[in-house]
Amino acid sequence: MEKALSLCLQNQTPEIKGAVQSLLYTSIRYKAQVEALLGKLVKKEPHEKVKAILSIALALLLEGTEKPFTIVNQAVEAAKENPESAWSSGFINAVLRNFLRNRSQLTASFKTNLVTRYNCPAWWISKIRQDYPRHWQSILRVQNQRPPLTLRINCSRITVKDYLEKLNKSGLVGKQVGPWAVVIEPACPVSQIPGFHEGLCSVQDAGSQLVRDFLQLHDGDRVLDACAAPGGKTAQLLETYKVKVTALEIDPTRATRIDETLTRLGLEAKIVVGDASETSLLNQLGDFDAILLDAPCTASGIVRRHPDIVWSRRPEDIPLLAARQKKLLESLWEKLPLGKDLLYVVCSLFPEEGPDQIQSFLKTHPEARLKGSSLCSEGMLRLIPTDNEVDEHLPLNHDGFFYALLTKGQTK
């Protein structure tokens, strides 16, 4: 989805890009309900341009943050602007007004049908329900909400207190939700965030900011950040410690984002394009005092930021990605010196990618042990995105993540 947006909007201003992304994401968040409504409101499949306009308009009407007559009028005008849909302006007007007149009747079944209630595929609902029998409804509700605009304050440059004052002077309201995390309410374009371009802060979910709570580093340590793009965790380590970081990323395009992130923040790291599971490459990089593996995963914990995930993923993706994670973990563990730590992170809710992955690894590696941290004495932490905060020691309003800190000891 991000690649498609970047390609289609590459010559547009940041404001236009943000507006288009917002419309697209809203239409995806209400995808199941919109498709159900179109089945009732339209007798035959409409032209793709017409369907796109109707889908966005219906999603906005369902969301209810804008006045209905404004949405209908803008949809009609949008149809008139495009020669391929100009003929349908009257049709679009009639369909949308029909929905507004009969909304209660048309949406009556939404709450009893789980797919339309939570706007995601049946298999996804079943999976979340199976894995989280106590919290599944809350998780599914939260994943369809707009995410907060959360910042990571660069405390090597400014304190959280001083940054909150800076926000206030700019007419923005900020709330501290973690040691270095601040949420701006309401959200604003990145271009309007005070100090962003000067490197005083970065956009990063509060749940993603816990790396420094797990990895206790020392000046001069050499750290490998495997699968490092877009560079948020690399930057976080460099803001906190005087360490030397090698940022390894398999995708050349995504590797450029690491460089952009570090340049904006005035930080430096060695950026290497390559596969973190290749032993020959790892041997060329030398030894490290700590390894961070932010492994590729289903991204099931960050659906509210990327709502297309629930529709693009398939059940068979889970074992495939778990196998990739295992391969990365095995290769990097072999590279880790005795007495050093490896932090495993995924932005996934699925156990196969988190606790199950680590427990399986521990069974086959007697020299591996979980290591407690200031956040959790057990060495493993699951962050569940719900609308009920479950732990006062964790940041508020976070996405879904799994952390495991492993240390390499002597074989028993």
Interstrand relation of 341-346 and 401-408 (parallel, antiparallel or unpaired): antiparallel
Q: How many residues does the chain have?
A: 412
Distances in whole angstroms, Cα of residue 89 to Cα of each of 78, 96, 289: 8, 11, 63
Dihedral (C-alpha) 217, 222, 380, 337: value to the nearest 10 degrees? -120
Strand intervals (E) in 298-400: 341-346, 368-370, 380-383
Distances in whole angstroms, Cα of residue 131 to Cα of each of 74, 272, 349, 356, 373: 42, 37, 8, 12, 25
Q: Is 275 annotated as a binding residue?
A: yes
* Spacing of C-alpha 173 from chain mean position: 23
Q: Is 379 annotated as a binding residue?
A: no
End-to-end CA, the chain: 47
Phi, psi of 338 (to 5 degrees): -60, 135
Q: Is 230 annotated as a binding residue?
A: yes
Choosing from 120, 297, 347, 376, which is the catalytic residue?
347
Q: Is 227 annotated as a binding residue?
A: yes
347 catalytic? Reply is yes
Interstrand relation of 174-176 and 181-184 (parallel, antiparallel or unpaired): antiparallel
Q: How many CB atoms lie within 10 A of CB 65?
A: 9
Q: Is 229 annotated as a binding residue?
A: yes
Q: Is 232 annotated as a binding residue?
A: yes
Provide the annotated binding site for S-adenosyl-L-methionine: 227-233, 249, 275, 294
Provide the annotated binding site: 227-233, 249, 275, 294
Q: Which residues are catalytic?
A: 347
